[in-house]
Amino acid sequence: MLKRLFMLIALVLIAILFFDVASNFTERSELSGISQYYVEQGAEELGAANLVTSVVVTYRGLDTLGEVTVLFISAAGASLLLRRRRNTNKKLVVEESSEIVQTTLSIMFPIIMLFGVYIFINGHLTPGGGFQGGAVVASALLFFMLARPNDSISHKLLMKIESLSGFTYVVLGVLGVILAGGFLDNRVLGLGEFGSLFSAGLIPLIYILVGLKVGSELGSLLQKFRE
């Protein structure tokens, strides 16, 4: 009875809080000072045609580091929960996929992988980036696992890619502090020609590292689920 009373009180307090927030909410008609600065100066200051990239990777680079860290902790925690003692004397054999599925895999797997790479390499020019491209790469790995259930993807290789890309990501961030204006400051390298592939300083490299890290982490997690 007492537990239900506390739950009821908590629900009432939450309802009051949300009602107060909703009733006093007013939509902004103008950009805030910092948003105005991003819109007016972001492209010229950082050299990225995709303004969202400038904000996510550079202006709020520490937040992006936190997001990458959260993804790592989530993947590591899920892998730990899925870990179990294996019976090395017993190997589960699953029926092979049909020839149609195998043929589709051989055609679509490289296309999906290349599309994922395209997304995070061009993240400073077009919508997309490391997280989106990494998710597409992981979907290609999932397709491989479903089409070839008896073949395995090297978990150690995925972990090495994830660790190396994560370490290099942090190193680039620290270089931004030392050589430029702050963590993950892309002006460590030249900004190049605006709108070209080799532009926006470190941003393309940062997105490549994020894409590899996200793709390998999600791929490793999917492999754990399959095992």
| Secondary structure, 3-state, 43-71 | HHHHCCCCHHHHHHHHHCHHHHHHHHHHH
- Give the pLDDT score at 20: 79
Cα–Cα distance list, 31 to 19, 48, 176 (Å): 25, 20, 28
48 versus 29: the higher-pLDDT residue is 48
- Give the pLDDT score at 121: 93
Mean pLDDT of the chain: 87
d(CA 223, CA 144) in angstroms, rounded, equals: 11
The answer to whether residue 92 scores a pLDDT higher than 70 is no
Domain range list for the chain: 45-75+99-226
Mean pLDDT of 43-53: 89
Confidence of residue 29 (pLDDT cuts 50, 70, 90): confident
- Give the pLDDT score at 181: 80
The closest of 113, 197, 107, 212 to 157, measured between CA atoms, is: 212
- Give the pLDDT score at 90: 56
Confidence of residue 204 (pLDDT cuts 50, 70, 90): very high
Rg (CA), the chain: 23
Both structure tokens of 18: 């949300």
Mean pLDDT of 21-42: 81
Residue indicated by tokens 């941003």? 203
Mean pLDDT of 119-128: 92
Both structure tokens of 157: 């290789």
What's the pLDDT tens digit per position in 94-111? 778 888 999 999 999 999
Interacting residues of 63 by C-beta distance below 8 A, sequence separation 6+? 56
- Give the pLDDT score at 93: 67
What's the pLDDT tens digit per position in 132-171? 999 999 999 999 998 988 888 888 899 899 999 999 999 9
Report the alpha-carbon angle 217-218-221, nearest 5.
Answer: 90
186 secondary structure, DSSP code: G
d(CA 118, CA 128) in angstroms, rounded, equals: 9
Percentage, residues of the chain above pLDDT 70 = 95
Question: 177 φ, ψ to 5°?
Answer: -65, -40
- Give the pLDDT score at 89: 55
53 versus 137: the higher-pLDDT residue is 137
